[in-house]
Amino acid sequence: MKPVLPLFVFIDACGWEIVRDDSFLQGLAPVRRRLTSVFGYSSACVPSILSGRWPAEHRNWCYFVYDPKNSPFKSLRALRWLPSVFTSRRIFRRWFSRFIKARLRFRGYFDLYNMPFQYISLFDFTEKKSPLQPEGMNRGPNIFDYLRQREVRYHVSAPEQDEELNLAALVKDVQAERIDFAFLYWPGLDALLHRVGNRSPLVPQKLRQYEHWIAKLYSLARQHYAEVRLYVFGDHGMANCVELLDLQSSIDDLPLRFGKDYVAVYDSTMARFWFFSTKARQQITGCLKQVPQGRIVPDAELEAMGTFFPDRYFGELIFLVQEGVLIVPSHMGRRPLAAMHGYHPTDPQSYAALCTNQTALPEEISAIPHMFELMQREADLARERTSTARGALAA
Ligand SMILES: [Zn+2]
């Protein structure tokens, strides 16, 4: 029997509005807190949770950036001649992404999404390492560096694995009392919400499944650890998509050439632009100002959100749509989705949730990067108690 297990269960898209009116974990983790998310997608949120820093500091923000010099995709340009009915199919893209990921030895999450092969050699991909591993951040340390340095034995999920396999892997480590810290990663709720929206009866059904798994895990852990300090949390919420915006067509209609006058990455809720002439900047800025579904985010606002990059690495101009608007087609997908995230962090559906069995949750834990402090604190506590227990045993 070990003294304590800090158990962090990360559920992608476990939003405040998703669980607010639900009895989710009221028994096992009755203390709840609404957390402010980070502007961006999981590519920004997860690294912020794991490092306690904001994207401007750790530089894991959006996946694709204009960087032809460092593009690892130069050889893919040849594929631009393949018929797009074939290369734009999701099934092909998914299979091909796995192939590319292995070839380029990317360790994080990788998907080509809907990036056109014609222009792919203009772009670099920013998550080459896995933020879920030590030395996995683009800049600075994460919680796994911290745990390794302090020799705290931990478990972390492999996010590409199926949820139940991840649970089973953790159960094994708990049974063997091999670990003093656990980080479990479940991506299923995010995928479900994208598909069915936040009002579907499948959502509470999924929450019941998580409750069931967490209850099983908790009671098992209690057989091996005197105390289990449980934290279940998300990185962002999910808003139903009520309006589609074909931003790309509006920009394409301008007398400008992609790759010559400007470059853009069309994410699902934002578009990021790089300009090669004053004319392009003026025309695109003018065009965007006519789009009522969104707005250009001023630098000061980006700075306040921790997503301003003075070197403009992620784009010289960031256009963001209103909650509920989806950019379709985009470089992320050709088809509409029922729901999306990546809107302004103060939009109602953006907030994340934290549920815990710890009544003394520090007041200052109010945004998802603060989860890092919490994890640090819990790791220190586990380390201290484990070494005291070991000392007592030795005596
Ligand atoms: Zn998502």
Which of 129, 179, 131 is CA-nearest to residue 151? 179
Triad 133, 382, 130: Cα angle to 5°: 5
> For residue 199, how far is its CA from the centre of ligand 1 (angstroms)?
16
More confident of the two residues 106 and 69: 69
**pLDDT band at residue 86 under the 50/70/90 scheme:** low
**pLDDT band at residue 269 under the 50/70/90 scheme:** very high
The answer, yes or no, to whether residue 93 has pLDDT greater than 90, is no
- The backbone torsions φ and ψ at residue 88, rounded to the nearest 5 degrees and listed phi first, read -95, 0
Q: Number of C-alpha atoms within 13 angstroms, CB side, residue 309? A: 19
> For residue 18, how far is its CA from the centre of ligand 1 (angstroms)?
14
> For residue 113, how far is its CA from the centre of ligand 1 (angstroms)?
13
- The DSSP annotation for 126-147 comes to S--S-TTSTT-SSSS--HHHHH
Predicted TM-score (pTM) of the model is 0.92
Q: How far apart are CA 312 and CA 7, in angstroms?
A: 38
**pLDDT band at residue 165 under the 50/70/90 scheme:** very high
Average pLDDT over residues 257-266: 96
The answer, yes or no, to whether residue 110 has pLDDT greater than 70, is no
> For residue 338, how far is its CA from the centre of ligand 1 (angstroms)?
11
Average pLDDT over residues 256-273: 96
> For residue 358, how far is its CA from the centre of ligand 1 (angstroms)?
28
Average pLDDT over residues 270-288: 98
Q: How far apart are CA 182 and CA 163, in angstroms?
A: 15
Q: Given the structure tokens 């392009």, which residue do they identify? A: 280
> For residue 293, how far is its CA from the centre of ligand 1 (angstroms)?
21
> For residue 189, how far is its CA from the centre of ligand 1 (angstroms)?
9
> For residue 235, how far is its CA from the centre of ligand 1 (angstroms)?
10
Q: Given the structure tokens 């530089």, which residue do they identify? A: 59
What would the two tokens of residue 305 be? 């959100």
> For residue 62, how far is its CA from the centre of ligand 1 (angstroms)?
13
The answer, yes or no, to whether residue 109 has pLDDT greater than 80, is no
Q: How far apart are CA 194 and CA 46, in angstroms?
A: 18
Residues within 5 Å of ion ligand 1, judged at the Cβ atom: 190
More confident of the two residues 73 and 38: 38
Query: Phi-psi bin for 281: left (phi > 0), alpha (psi -120 to 50), beta?
Result: alpha
Specify the pLDDT at position 85: 67
Q: Which residues pair with 40 in a beta bridge?
A: none
Q: Position 247: which residue type?
A: L
